[in-house]
A = this chain, B = another copy of it.
Amino acid sequence: MRIAPERKDFPDAWYNVVPDLTFPAPNMRSPSGYRLGPHDLEPFVPDELIKQELEQEQREISIPKPLQEYYSDWRPTALYRAERLEKELGTPAKIFFKLEGVTSYTYEANTAVAQAYYAREQGVKRLVTGTGNGEWGVSLAMATNVFNLESSVYMVRSSYEEKPHGRYVMEVLDTEVIPSPSDRTATGREQLEQDPDSPGSLGLALSAAFEDASRDKDTKFAWGTVMNHVLLHQTVIGLEAKRQMRRAGGRPDILISAVGGGSAFGGLMFPFYKDLLGKARFIAVEAAEYPSLTKGQYGYDYGDSQGLAPMIKMYTLGRGYMPPKMRAGGMRYHGMSPLISALYREKQIEARAYTQHEALGAAVTFARAEGVIPAPESAYAVKAVIDEAIACRENRERKTILCVISANSNLDIESFHDFVDGSDSAGEGFSESASQAALSNLPTIQGDE
């Protein structure tokens, strides 16, 4: 059942959680180790976004009018009550889901349009980024198109070849898509020399894009997740959900999102943080293959695999952690947003990990009840939702659960097919040894905190 969205659900300002945190927000470090300042980001990030990234005091960051107008092409998105799923599970819990990425392909459009807008305002000509299966790249392609910027996306080669749906969308939208590794960058050439058939990784694609951006003053790098300004833009999700939940007559007791880099999770929960800290549970769900929160180490690590991007204080599996095969491209990142990492460190949020098999199974149950097939990333959130709803049934608790479905499965329906026809493997699981090896070269930082 859709809670009909109303125009006034959409906010005119993003919400910056940093001033409301009960602890100091972690700092970033430049690639060479000193405390990061605006000038370190200038070659890569438009000025307004740097301000947002480093903003410590202002809670409300106005959304510029022209950007509000563009957001209104697909926002406010709808909140749904999953009544058929509740019935199917026989749970007294109320389950709500915020459905993102319906008109806009994925929730990542929420930050893509903001980044493209500020880039254009500053006279930037071109944006570059790295993408896995293409979700983030597609959002950036839409945004750069609207704001008349050029764009190039380095796409993990194995996805480029095996899951080309996202690539096709980007190309139709006139974005250059480059399989990574490629000979376009030094890091790519290096990798190809070591392994001419390299399938690539998200870390490598990000390094390539970083290198590309550093070569040209008219080109900037666009971040798909992890960074504070990205999570800031995503708060439109939670701000809308808050108003819509009020209309639906409920305050959430449990908030759930999948976490890859953490931006969907932050976007949903930050606006509820101040009111519900200690009253509601915030659950971050990761892939068992990429358990940075539940099995990673807390410390400084680079945002990309080659050490070109800033260092971030976060839970990390090591920047060279090599991806076991798994479907959900958005979950394949070695680290985690510094804000989400700090919240976990402070025990203000919970984290758990599920296998791909568990996640896809839950998503099929959800799809058959609700008629919406969640993206493989969102499948992880759905698994936690179902587990919590079943716990409510067993404990006879009428809790209200709110989750975010960051996109439907249009860009990656194949994942589900393998599951449904039984050709899906259980997955390779987390590789403890690979992560240990990757963590052995964590940078050493002087004078932390």
**Residue ranges of A at the interface with B (Cβ–Cβ < 8 Å):** 1-2, 4, 7, 69, 72-74, 78, 80, 84, 99, 102-103, 142, 145-146, 164-165, 167-169, 171-174, 364, 367-368, 371-373, 409-410, 413-414, 416-417, 420-421
Contact = CB atoms under 8 A, between A and B. Distances in A.
Given A73-B1, A74-B2, A80-B73, A373 B173 contact: yes
Interface centre among A103, A142, A164, A414 (most CB of B within 10 A): A103
A172 B371 contact: no
B172 A417 contact: yes
30 contacts: A1-B69, A1-B72, A1-B73, A2-B72, A2-B73, A4-B72, A78-B103, A84-B146, A99-B103, A102-B102, A102-B103, A103-B372, A145-B371, A146-B371, A165-B165, A165-B413, A167-B417, A168-B413, A168-B414, A168-B417, A168-B420, A169-B373, A169-B409, A171-B417, A171-B420, A172-B364, A172-B368, A173-B368, A173-B373, A410-B410
Given A168-B414, A169-B409, 5 more contacts: A73-B80, A102-B103, A171-B420, A172-B416, A173-B368
Given A368-B174, A371-B146, A373-B173, A164 B417 contact: yes
A80 to B, nearest CB: 7
B72 A169 contact: no
Number of copies: 2
Contacts of A78: 103
Nearest to A74: B2
A174 B416 CA distance: 12
A182 to B, nearest CB: 17
A364 B417 CA distance: 29
B171 A421 contact: yes
A413 B171 CA distance: 11
Nearest to A69: B1
A7 B1 CA distance: 14
Interface centre among A146, A172, A364 (most CB of B within 10 A): A172
Given A1-B69, A7-B4, A367 B102 contact: no
A416 B168 contact: yes
Contacts of A174: 368
A345 to B, nearest CB: 38
A163 to B, nearest CB: 12
Closest 6 CB pairs between A and B? Answer: A168-B417, A410-B410, A142-B371, A168-B413, A172-B416, A4-B7
A173 B167 CA distance: 26
Given A368-B145, A371-B73, A371-B146, A413 B4 contact: no
Contacts of A367: 172-173
Nearest to A146: B371
A421 B74 CA distance: 29
A172 B73 contact: no
Contacts of A72: 1-2, 4
A69 to B, nearest CB: 7
A238 to B, nearest CB: 21
A414 B7 CA distance: 35
Given A1-B73, A2-B74, A413 B103 contact: no
Contacts of A420: 168, 171-172
Contacts of A410: 410
